[in-house]
Amino acid sequence: MNIRQDKGNLWENFLIAERLKYNAYNGSLAKGYFWRTVQQQEIDDVEEEAGALKGFEVKSNSKSKVKVPKTFTKADNAEVKVINRENFRDFLK
């Protein structure tokens, strides 16, 4: 039984906060952003470093289907990685 309806939001918040701490502790010059269009397409975490953009889409369920907005990948020439419970450790190191 799922008691919490916001566990996906909590997971996303936790991972992004940990990523910000990791970058700060390691002296990374990456700038963090959130990306959303008027049509409500979004990327959870965008990092810009030395002119390169990397997007991260966080999912609490590894079986969740992810639609990466082509608007982001085409216009900004960026790659997007899906972060879930199976690979989050790589995101945090």
**How do strand 79-83 and strand 52-58 relate by DSSP bridges?**
parallel
Residue ranges of domains in the chain: 7-91
User: Which pLDDT belongs to residue 88?
Assistant: 95
CATH of domain 7-91: 3.40.1350
> For the residues 58-81, what does the mean pLDDT come to?
84
**Nearest Cα to 74, choosing from 31, 32, 41, 40?**
41
User: Which pLDDT belongs to residue 68?
Assistant: 86
Rounded to two decimals, the pTM is 0.85
Count of beta carbons in the 10 Å neighbourhood of residue 66: 11
Give CA torsion, residues 13, 18, 34, 3, to 10 deg.
Answer: -10
Q: Give me the residues paired with residue 79 across strands.
A: 54
Place of tokens 């039984």: 1
**1-59 tens-digit pLDDT:** 678 889 989 999 999 999 999 999 999 999 999 999 899 999 999 999 988 899 999 99
User: Which pLDDT belongs to residue 1?
Assistant: 60
Is the pLDDT at 62 greater than 80? The verdict is: no
Is the pLDDT at 82 greater than 80? The verdict is: yes
